Amino acid sequence: MKVVVDFDLCEANALCMEVAPEIFKVDDQDLLHILIEHPDEKYRARIQEAVRLCPRQAISIEED
Ligand code: SF4
Protein backbone atom coordinates (compact mmCIF):
# COMPACT_ATOMS: atom_id res chain seq x y z
CA MET A 1 0.00 0.00 0.00
CA LYS A 2 0.96 3.62 -0.39
CA VAL A 3 0.00 6.37 2.08
CA VAL A 4 -1.07 9.58 0.38
CA VAL A 5 -1.79 12.93 2.04
CA ASP A 6 -3.34 15.92 0.34
CA PHE A 7 -1.14 18.59 1.85
CA ASP A 8 -3.48 21.32 0.61
CA LEU A 9 -6.17 19.92 2.92
CA CYS A 10 -3.98 19.00 5.91
CA GLU A 11 -4.15 21.43 8.81
CA ALA A 12 -1.36 19.74 10.81
CA ASN A 13 -3.45 19.02 13.89
CA ALA A 14 -1.50 15.76 14.37
CA LEU A 15 -4.47 13.43 14.96
CA CYS A 16 -2.92 10.99 12.50
CA MET A 17 0.35 11.08 14.43
CA GLU A 18 -1.50 10.14 17.62
CA VAL A 19 -2.81 6.89 16.14
CA ALA A 20 0.13 6.02 13.88
CA PRO A 21 3.32 7.79 14.99
CA GLU A 22 5.47 5.37 12.98
CA ILE A 23 3.87 6.69 9.81
CA PHE A 24 2.97 10.33 10.43
CA LYS A 25 5.00 13.09 12.05
CA VAL A 26 4.06 16.73 12.50
CA ASP A 27 7.24 18.70 13.06
CA ASP A 28 7.74 21.76 15.21
CA GLN A 29 7.04 23.94 12.17
CA ASP A 30 3.58 22.37 11.84
CA LEU A 31 4.50 20.46 8.72
CA LEU A 32 3.29 16.90 8.27
CA HIS A 33 5.74 14.28 7.07
CA ILE A 34 4.97 10.75 5.91
CA LEU A 35 7.74 8.74 7.55
CA ILE A 36 6.99 5.49 5.71
CA GLU A 37 5.32 6.01 2.36
CA HIS A 38 5.02 2.28 1.63
CA PRO A 39 4.38 0.76 5.06
CA ASP A 40 4.15 -2.86 6.04
CA GLU A 41 0.68 -4.43 6.18
CA LYS A 42 0.91 -4.57 9.98
CA TYR A 43 0.24 -0.81 10.06
CA ARG A 44 -2.89 -0.97 7.91
CA ALA A 45 -5.47 -0.94 10.72
CA ARG A 46 -3.95 2.09 12.37
CA ILE A 47 -3.54 3.95 9.10
CA GLN A 48 -7.20 3.26 8.37
CA GLU A 49 -7.98 4.70 11.78
CA ALA A 50 -5.98 7.81 10.86
CA VAL A 51 -7.93 8.07 7.61
CA ARG A 52 -11.15 7.89 9.64
CA LEU A 53 -10.04 10.40 12.26
CA CYS A 54 -8.58 13.03 9.97
CA PRO A 55 -11.02 15.93 10.16
CA ARG A 56 -9.92 17.16 6.73
CA GLN A 57 -10.20 13.81 4.92
CA ALA A 58 -6.65 14.47 3.77
CA ILE A 59 -5.31 10.91 4.05
CA SER A 60 -5.89 8.08 1.63
CA ILE A 61 -4.47 4.63 1.03
CA GLU A 62 -3.59 3.54 -2.49
CA GLU A 63 -2.89 -0.06 -3.37
CA ASP A 64 0.28 -0.59 -5.36
S1 SF4 B 1 -5.07 14.16 10.83
FE2 SF4 B 1 -5.33 14.98 8.77
S3 SF4 B 1 -5.31 17.20 9.01
FE4 SF4 B 1 -4.46 16.29 10.86
S5 SF4 B 1 -2.24 16.27 10.55
FE6 SF4 B 1 -3.03 14.28 9.91
S7 SF4 B 1 -3.42 14.50 7.69
FE8 SF4 B 1 -3.23 16.55 8.54
Q: What is the pLDDT of residue 23?
A: 98
pLDDT in tens, the chain (64 residues): 999 999 999 999 999 999 999 999 999 999 999 999 999 999 999 999 999 999 999 999 999 8
Burial class (CB in 10 A: 0-12, 13-18, 19+), 14: middle
Based on the structure, what is the number of domains in the chain? 1
Closest atom of ligand 1 to 26 CA is: 5
Q: What is the pLDDT of residue 16?
A: 98
Put residue 30 in one of left, alpha, beta given phi > 0 → left and psi -120 to 50 → alpha: left
Which residues' Cβ are closer than 6 Å to ligand 1? 5, 10-16, 24, 26, 32, 54, 56, 58-59
Residue nearest to atom 2 of ligand 1 (CA): 54
Q: What is the pLDDT of residue 64?
A: 85
Tell me how far apart the alpha carbons of residues 57 and 13 are, in angstroms, rounded to a whole number: 12
Closest of 38, 36, 42, 43 to residue 63, by C-alpha: 38
Q: Residue 49: which domain range?
A: 2-62
Q: What CATH number did the domain enclosing 17 receive?
A: 3.30.70.20
Q: What is the pLDDT of residue 62?
A: 98
